[in-house]
Amino acid sequence: MTEPRPVIAGIGVTHPPSLRQDDLWRDFFADHYAGVQRGLAQRVFANSGVVTRHSVVNPTLEDVSRWSTQARMERYLVEALPLGKEAVAGALGAAGLDPARLGLFAVCSCTGYVTPGLDILLARDLGMSPRTQRLFIGHMGCYAALPGLGAVTDFVASRGEPALLLCLELTSVHLQPPTRDPQQIVAHALFSDAAAAVAVLPGSNLGYATRGYAVREVAAVTDTATADHMTWDVTDLGFRMGLSPRVPDVLAEHVRPVVQDLLDRNGLTLSDLDGWAVHPGGPRILDVVRDALGLSEEQMAPSRDTLAVHGNCSSPTVLMIVDALRRAPESPRNVVALAFGPGLTLYAALLSAAA
Nearest CA to 106 among 80, 132, 85? 132
79 HSE (CA, 13 A, CB side):
27
Tell me the CA distances in angstroms from 152 to 230, 242, 274, one per residue in order: 26, 29, 25
Classify residue 294 by its DSSP letter: T
Q: CA-CA distance, 25 to 34, in Å (whole number)?
A: 11
How much is the average pLDDT of 71-99? 97
pTM recorded for the entire structure: 0.96
The mean pLDDT value of the chain amounts to 94
**Does position 100 have pLDDT exceeding 80, yes or no?**
yes
pLDDT band (50, 70, 90) for residue 9: very high
Tell which CATH architecture fits domain 7-201: 3-Layer(aba) Sandwich (3.40)
Asked if 347 contacts 140 with a C-beta cutoff of 8 angstroms, the reply is no
Same fold, 7-201 and 213-353: yes
Q: Note the pLDDT of residue 203.
A: 85
Q: What is the pLDDT at residue 2? A: 58
Dist CA 269 CA 319 (whole Å):
23
pLDDT recorded at residue 6: 96
Tell me the pLDDT tens digit for each residue of 198-241. Answer: 999 998 645 554 568 999 999 999 999 998 888 889 999 999 99
To the nearest whole percent, how much of the chain has pLDDT over 70?
97
| Whether 337 contacts 318, CB under 8 Å | yes
Could you tell me the pLDDT band of residue 41, with boundaries at 50, 70 and 90? very high
Phi/psi of residue 130, nearest 5 degrees: -60, -20
pLDDT band at 1 (very low <50, low <70, confident <90, very high): very low
The Cβ-side half-sphere exposure at 182, using a 13 Å CA radius, reads 7
Fold adopted by 213-353: Peroxisomal Thiolase; Chain A, domain 1 (3.40.47)
Burial of 3 by CB count in 10 Å (0-12 exposed, 13-18 middle, 19+ buried)?
Answer: exposed
- The answer on pLDDT for 264 being more than 80 is yes
Mean pLDDT lowest among 72-81, 127-136, 249-258: 249-258
Per-residue confidence (pLDDT) for residue 228, from 0 to 100: 87
pLDDT at residue 294, rounded to an integer:
97
Geometric angle at alpha carbon 313, from 308 and 314, rounded to 5°: 130
3-state helix, strand, coil in the chain (%, to 5): 45, 25, 30
Which pLDDT belongs to residue 194? 98
How far is it, in rounded angstroms, from Cα 325 to Cα 257? 24
pLDDT band of 243, cuts 50, 70, 90 = confident
**H or E element in which residue 46 lies:** helix 38-46
Residue numbers annotated as active site: 142
Report the candidate in 298, 278, 299 with the shortest Cα–Cα distance to residue 289.
278
CA distance 6 to 208: 12
Residue 210: what pLDDT? 54
CA distances from 340 to 123, 171, 186, 187, 351 (A): 29, 17, 16, 15, 18
How confident is the model over 47-61, as a mean pLDDT? Answer: 97
- Assess contact for 346 and 220: CB atoms under 8 A: yes
Domain boundaries of the chain, sorted by first residue: 7-201, 213-353
How many residues are given for the chain? Answer: 355
Residue (of 151, 88, 154, 101) closest to 131 by Cα position: 101
